[in-house]
Structures are given as structure tokens and as C-alpha cells.
Amino acid sequence: MEINMNQLTKIVIDTRGGDKGASAMVAGAAAALDKYPELGIVLVGDQQEIDTLCASLSMPSERLEILHAAEEITNHDSPAEALFQKQDSSMLKALQALSERKELFGLITTGNTGVLLAGAMRYLSGKNRVRPALAAVLPAQSGGFTCLVDTGATVDCTPPVLHHFARLGSDFMRDMYGLVSPKIGLLSNGAESSKGNKLVKETHVILAQDDSLCFVGNIEGNEALSGKCDVLVCDGFAGNQVLKVTEGTATRIITDIMKYAYKTGSGEIKTLASHLMSIYDIGSLGGGIILGVEKPVIKARGNAGPDAVVNTAGMLLNMSRNQAVFDAAQNHI
Amino acid sequence: MEINMNQLTKIVIDTRGGDKGASAMVAGAAAALDKYPELGIVLVGDQQEIDTLCASLSMPSERLEILHAAEEITNHDSPAEALFQKQDSSMLKALQALSERKELFGLITTGNTGVLLAGAMRYLSGKNRVRPALAAVLPAQSGGFTCLVDTGATVDCTPPVLHHFARLGSDFMRDMYGLVSPKIGLLSNGAESSKGNKLVKETHVILAQDDSLCFVGNIEGNEALSGKCDVLVCDGFAGNQVLKVTEGTATRIITDIMKYAYKTGSGEIKTLASHLMSIYDIGSLGGGIILGVEKPVIKARGNAGPDAVVNTAGMLLNMSRNQAVFDAAQNHI
């Protein structure tokens, strides 16, 4: 297969490890190639399975490459064991290719988060072997975006770790969204600087002293996605709650609206429910992004379907126009 | 003023310390007396102000008592200082009356949470001077209620403290809602027992070993209010996020729906928005309840209006029919 991908932004897609199997990932890849003419894709997984799936879709072969991997990382694999025993897995082969091949820009995977973070640290942390963060970029009420960091990579944090997250998030939002001075908020249980647990109070002092950051103070949970800050810093446990409670509440209300629509038979309300679903379906928004590594790695949800692949591929294309971010992120610590 | 309140459930209402002033509290008291004929109220605050406010409302004087307090606890007061220097404040006089007068059942206040917790511990903790918890009882998607404990009283917890919260919550839901064996969930960032921060992992082991509890395991944020558990145990920092993110997300979606209704001019959608507002207006649901003290104390939101006073008075009347709960809660630790 001869491929000329020099003019393309080439990304790697791990086809294994997701709930919906390789078929969803390959279908997503096909849709992304169709939507973005400047995109090239390397599919990593079982060659035979991918060949079969591709045969049933019309894929532009000049923008497609397949990399065979005999093994699959499952959700039962522990990071330490997987790194040593499953080097021929699609996730680790994808990370290795991303690390070794200069022309590859980023990676999308739906697989095991723990193994992914460990693998990203092994293959993509460069000289600085720091723990990466898993961020989520969510639509803010004000119309922009809020980068929530961390959403679950590091659940027990120290103040210097949260400080590191603030800098990673600040760099990311500056370079990715062109914000001159991203506003950094600290998730707390009260707006006053005296509010917070021990971790938050100590972090507040450190963030307030860092002149390189535009620290706007504590942000409460009800304003997490208000747009008062561009980066919301928190430990991975609290960030996971913000992400999942937002999703759970939105899903619940939209379900209520659907029931109400069926009860009343209102077409208008059904239309509204579909509209809200398209806004608040966090699962399809693009997934988490690993900050603090040399190239962008996107962790889509385990149950991600083709739409999520298209959306995350779109995110990577956006980032490729602002590649500086990941270099900049490396200049810290 | 001669009052015969022997057949009544008498509650204390602190009229000061809220954002909307004594007028909102007195108006709420009048509405509650109107709605509940079995209710008696002791209003605590500035006698002259309350007299003036009462004069403009038709209040049943035989079910009303006024207790003068010259001072007010503000949000700037620290618990330690307030306890010593503001003993003539409405909040502390209300707590003292509740402690000393057997016929008084419970208290509603909108004031400073920190001072309230310290005051409740001082006047109402009985022999056991344990840190009380601030719980919220929220409507679950399944149709019942979920008791979220803690929502902000103790933001730095140890596993034994979370274990204590689990028992307080279990007693409360058993006695208040008649659940034979309330299901206890532990808020975590994953359903598996291996998921969680250090605190949650250690607490998981303790809860699983306590045969007096019906522990159902970890619950993720998106299922916090699904009804999978009757009591959701978490540290006050995480619980505050669950509460406020739920509120923030609901408010945001309902605001979106209102905008959509005005854009489309749809009366049906306006009706829907009002319906959702009545369900998801957490502020009016009743406020937080302090668990682990001898009598029920409800902390309504600082911006609570008359509706919140009526709802919380209704909560107290419900509880008075199940008074055993607060004794039971004391039998632990």
C-alpha cells in the first residue's frame, strides 16, 4: 500500500479496547476521512479484522494505513503488568508509533485509562517523567470552553501537582484556543480564599503567587462551567465528580423531558429534547485529553461510537494548527 | 402573650443572618402556620422588627412566640469567636432555647454554617462531642430520596469519619423514611472496589466489614442521585461538588430551555420550564440537615425565601413523627 500523506495531518486510532469493538472505530475513521480531506489515519489493531471492516466501507486508501497488533488491552489489565507483558497490544503499539514516527500528530483510543496514562508517560513524556493529567474541554455557559484538569488521572494530589495542572491547562488553552491569558480557577466549596479542604487552601496560596498565571480564585461547583474561568483546577477525584455529575444531571433532565414529550405528545418538546441532547451529550464531545506529554493523546469514552471518533479527530486537527502547545507544556517543571 | 402550644409541634426559626432579612423569614413563618395547623413557631430575632413584620400579616398569636435577640451572626463571624462573643445572637439563642426547652422540636436557620455547626455541637451534641455532619436529602431519579452526607461540614475526612457519616445517614433514612435497611453507597470515581482516592479505598474496606450497614459499594458521580443507594457517603468537599454541580447543571439547562421558549414563543415549552424549575430548584427543597445532634437543625440556604421556610417547616413536621431518629443517631460512636 503506497501512501502519500505528506500534506496531511496524520493521526493514530487504536481500534481495540472499546466497548463497541473495532467496527465502531473503523466506521468512525471512515466518517472522519470523509469529513476532513486534510486528515490521514493509521488504524492499529487486528489487520484481518480491519481489512474486512474497511472492505465494506469506501475508504480513501491513500489516506489510510493499517498497523497490525496481535493483542488487546482490556479494562482488567493493570498498568504495570500491561507495560511489560502486552507490548504487542494495539494501545502500546499505537503509542510507540506516535513516539517514533515524527509525521504522526496524535492518538485516539477508547481503551483502559490507567494503562494509557502509564503508556503515555513511558513513550511520550520526553525528558520529564512527570505524571500526565487527564483534562476535559467542556462547553461553558458563557459560550467558550472550560478545561477541567484533572478528571481522574491523579486522585490523590499535592499542592505542587495542582500547580502543575494549572500550568498545563493554561498553556493548553492559550495555544489551543488562542487565549492570551487563560483565567485559572480553583475548584472549592466556597468562593472565599479561606474556603476549601487542606489541599485547596494550600494550592490557593501557591497559585496566587505565580505571576505567570492569571489566577481568578476559587470557583464553586455550581459555577464550574459558567465560563468564569478558562481552566478549572482540581484533583482527579473531585474533577471526576464535576464531569460525571454534570453528565448525570443533564441525562436525567433530558430523560424527564422526553417522558414529558411522550406524555403530552408535543412535537415541539421532542425537538427541544433532541436539541438538548446534542448539546449535553458529554460522551460524544470529544473525550479526555492527556496534558503534559509530547503529542496529543485523546482518551475517548469506553462506549464511544463513530460520532466520538469524528469529533475527536476534529479536535486533533484543531490542535495540529496550534502544535506549539505540547512543546510549551514540556517547558514547565 | 399567653400561648397554649401543648398539642403542637413547636419549632424555632432564626430570623436573622439570611440574605433576605427577617421579612422573608417572618413571611415564611406566617405561610407555614397557615399551611400546617399542627405547627407552632418561636421566632428569634429583633423583637421590635418582628412585631412590626407580624403586625402586617395575620398571624395566629396562640401558635406564635417571639424570643428577642439583640445580635446577629454574619457570614464574616468565625465560629470560635462567635461562640464566645455573640451569645446574644439570634442563632445562638435559638440553639440554646432548643437545647434547654424540652417542648421545642427543631430549628430552621439561614445563617453562617460554620457557626451553626459549632453551636449545634456545643448545645446539642449531648454526651458525645462528635463533629456533626451536614446532609442534604435530594429527590432520586428512581422516585425516592437520597441522603447525601456530608455536603460541606467536614472537608478533610478520615475513614472513621466517613464510617460515622454512613451510620448517621443510615439511621436517618431508616427512621425518617421508614426504610428497613437503607442502601449505603460510597461516592467514588469508578464502580469497582479498587477505584477511589486513598480515603475512599480505605473507607470501602471499613464499610464492607460493618454488618449493621447495607453497603452496596461504590457509586459514580453520574449515578449519585439515581436511587441506587439511599445514603451516599462522601467527604464534605466532594459532597459539596455533587450538590452544587447538580444545581448548576440543572439551572443552566433550564435557563437554556427558557431562552428556547422565548425564541420559539412556545407556551408548551414555557410550561415545561416551570415544571422543571419546581423539580430541580434545590434551593427551595429544604436545605441541609445536621445529623449527629440531639434535635433536628435545618440549615436553609443564605438566600432562602418564604417558600424554603415553608418546605423546611414541613420537613421538621415529618421528622417529629419519627422522632426516634435523633436519639438513634446518638447511640453510635
Residue-wise pLDDT for B251-292, tens only, equals 899 888 888 888 888 888 888 888 888 777 655 555 789 998
| Residue B136 to chain A, least CA–CA distance (Å) | 15
- Closest to B250 (Cβ–Cβ): which among A155, A196, A253? A253
> How far apart, in whole angstroms, are the C-alpha atoms of residue B282 and residue B286?
8
Q: Mean of the pLDDT values across residues B329-333? A: 45
All 3 cell numbers of residue A35? 469529513
| Residue B158 to chain A, least CA–CA distance (Å) | 13
> If we measure between CA atoms, which residue out of A91, A166, A156, A168 comes closest to residue A122?
A91
Residue A48 makes CB contacts below 8 A (sequence gap 6+) with: none
> How far apart, in whole angstroms, are the C-alpha atoms of residue A93 and residue A69?
7
Cβ–Cβ gap A189/B269 under 8 Å: no
B252 close contact with A: CB closer than 8 A: yes
In a mutational test of the B interface, the residue from A199, A252, A282, A303 whose CB has the highest number of chain B CBs within 10 Å is: A252
| Cβ-based burial of B56 (10 A; exposed 0-12, middle 13-18, buried ≥19) | exposed
Chain A hits for B280, Cβ within 8 Å: 253
Q: Mean of the pLDDT values across residues B165-171? A: 94
* A69-73, A284-288, B67-71, B306-310: least confidently modelled range: A284-288
Q: Note the pLDDT of residue A315.
A: 86
> How far apart, in whole angstroms, are the C-alpha atoms of residue A322 and residue A175?
6
Cβ atoms of residues A31 and A310 within 8 Å:
yes
Name residue A216's amino acid: V
> How far apart, in whole angstroms, are the C-alpha atoms of residue B141 and residue B248?
17
When pLDDT is cut at 50, 70 and 90, the band that residue B325 belongs to is: very low
Radius of gyration of chain B, Cα coordinates, nearest whole angstrom: 20
DSSP β-bridge partners for residue A12 = A42, A107
- DSSP string for A306-321: HHHHHHHHHHHHHHHT
- Closest to B272 (Cβ–Cβ): which among A224, A241, A257? A257
- What part of A 272-301 touches B (C-beta under 8 Å)? 272, 275-276, 279-280
Q: Mean of the pLDDT values across residues B133-142? A: 90
B52 close contact with A: CB closer than 8 A: no
> How far apart, in whole angstroms, are the C-alpha atoms of residue A212 and residue A331?
13
Q: Note the pLDDT of residue A3.
A: 45
> If we measure between CA atoms, which residue out of B166, B154, B141 comes closest to residue B246?
B141
A249 close contact with B: CB closer than 8 A: yes
Q: Note the pLDDT of residue B182.
A: 97
All 3 cell numbers of residue A99? 513516539
CA distances from B100 to B68, B163, B328 (A): 16, 30, 20
> If we measure between CA atoms, which residue out of B55, B11, B311, B249 comes closest to residue A253?
B249
DSSP summary character for residue A221: G
Q: Note the pLDDT of residue A213.
A: 98
| Residue B255 to chain A, least CA–CA distance (Å) | 10
pLDDT at B10 over 70: yes
- The angle, 0 to 180 degrees and rounded to 10, between the axes of the packed helices A267-280 and A236-264 is 170
B266 close contact with A: CB closer than 8 A: yes
CA distances from B128 to B117, B123, B314, B326 (A): 14, 11, 28, 13
> How far apart, in whole angstroms, are the C-alpha atoms of residue A254 and residue B226?
14
| Residue A10 to chain B, least CA–CA distance (Å) | 33
> How far apart, in whole angstroms, are the C-alpha atoms of residue A182 and residue A205?
18
Cβ–Cβ gap B240/A187 under 8 Å: no
| pLDDT, tens digit only, all 333 positions of chain A | 444 456 799 999 999 999 999 999 999 999 999 999 999 999 999 999 999 999 999 888 899 999 999 999 998 899 999 999 999 999 999 999 999 999 999 999 999 989 999 999 999 987 766 778 999 988 898 888 899 999 998 999 999 999 999 999 998 898 778 899 999 999 999 999 989 999 999 999 999 999 999 999 999 999 999 999 999 999 999 999 999 999 999 989 988 888 888 888 888 888 888 888 877 765 555 578 999 898 999 999 888 899 999 989 998 998 887 654 444 444 443
Residue B70 makes CB contacts below 8 A (sequence gap 6+) with: B46, B88
Chain A hits for B303, Cβ within 8 Å: none
| Cβ-based contacts under 8 A for chains A and B | 142
pLDDT at B3 over 50: no
**Helix H segments across chain A?**
21-35, 47-55, 79-85, 90-100, 113-124, 159-177, 198-209, 236-264, 267-280, 306-320, 324-330
Residue A258: closest CA among chain B residues belongs to which residue?
B272
pLDDT at B214 over 90: yes
All 3 cell numbers of residue A34? 470523509
CA distances from B112 to A223, A252, B153 (A): 21, 32, 12
- What part of B 167-196 touches A (C-beta under 8 Å)? 187, 189, 196
Which is it for strands A145-149 and A231-233: parallel, antiparallel or unpaired? parallel
| Residue B219 to chain A, least CA–CA distance (Å) | 11
3-class secondary structure, B148: strand
Residue A142 makes CB contacts below 8 A (sequence gap 6+) with: A226, A227, A228
- Closest to B244 (Cβ–Cβ): which among A197, A222, A240? A222
A197-205 contacts: CB < 8 A, separation 24 or more? Answer: A197/B155, A197/B156, A197/B235, A197/B236, A197/B237, A198/B156, A199/A157, A199/A158, A199/A159, A199/A162, A199/A235, A200/B237, A202/A159, A203/A159, A203/A162, A203/A163, A203/A233, A205/A159
Cβ–Cβ gap B251/A222 under 8 Å: yes
Chain A hits for B139, Cβ within 8 Å: none
> If we measure between CA atoms, which residue out of A158, A112, A150, A110 comes closest to residue A132?
A150
> If we measure between CA atoms, which residue out of B314, B266, B263 comes closest to residue B289?
B314
Residue B265: closest CA among chain A residues belongs to which residue?
A268
- Using the CB atoms, write b or e for A280-311: b if 16+ within 10 Å: bebbbbbbbbbbbbbbbbbbbbbebbbbbbbb
DSSP β-bridge partners for residue B149 = B233
A305-314, B41-50, B308-317, B319-328 — most confident range? B41-50
When pLDDT is cut at 50, 70 and 90, the band that residue B129 belongs to is: low
A173-177, B17-21, B66-70, B305-309 — most confident range? B66-70
- Closest to B272 (Cβ–Cβ): which among A156, A220, A260? A260
Name residue A31's amino acid: A
| Residue A263 to chain B, least CA–CA distance (Å) | 12
